[in-house]
Amino acid sequence: QVQLVESGGGLVQAGGSLRLSCAASGRTFTTYAMGWFRQAPGKERVFVGSISWTGTSTYYAGSVKGRFTIPRDNAKHTVYLQMNSLKPEDTAVYYCAAQSRRVWATQSLPDYWGQGTQVTVSS
C-alpha cells in the first residue's frame, strides 16, 4: 500500500516556475515508477511525465517536454515536478501516481493516485 500526498501548487504568472512535491508513504517507494498527470477544467486527465524507480529513465508528454522535469529522491520517498516557462494552458489540477514496475507503462493504469494540487498560471 502506498499513499501519495502532493504539495506545492499555487498561482504563478506566465513564464514563471513552480515545483510540486509528491511524498509517498511505505517502505516500497523505491520499487515504484512514478508519474504525473493533470486535469484542466472540463477536460480529461492526461499524462504529463514519468520517472523509473531508479530515476535513470524519464518520459514527458510533448506539451511539456523541455519545460518540465521529474526528479525523485528515494531517500526522502519524494518525487517532484519542476515546471519552468509556465503557460496559462498549464493551468490544471496536478496528480502524482505510482505504478508497481521499474519503468512507467503508459498503457497501464496507475496503482495509486494522490489527491491532486491546483496550479493556476495567469497571463
At a CB cut-off of 8 Å and minimum separation 6, what does 50 contact?
Answer: 33, 34, 35, 36, 58, 59, 70, 103, 104, 106
Nearest to 9 by CA among 92, 101, 119: 119
Res. 27: pLDDT tops 80: no
Measured CA to CA, the distance from residue 91 to residue 103 in angstroms comes to: 27
What pLDDT, on the 0 to 100 scale, is given for residue 30? 82
What pLDDT, on the 0 to 100 scale, is given for residue 95? 98
Residue that has been written with the C-alpha cell 493516485 in this structure: 113
Residue that has been written with the C-alpha cell 523509473 in this structure: 52
Please give the single-letter amino acid code of residue 34: M
Residue 117 phi/psi, 5-degree rounding, is -140, 140
What pLDDT, on the 0 to 100 scale, is given for residue 1? 82
Question: pLDDT (tens digit, 9 = 90+) per residue, 72-107?
Answer: 999 999 999 999 999 999 999 999 999 999 999 988
Whether the Cβ atoms of residue 20 and residue 94 lie closer than 8 Å to each other: yes
Question: pLDDT (tens digit, 9 = 90+) per residue, 50-75?
Answer: 999 999 999 999 999 999 999 999 99
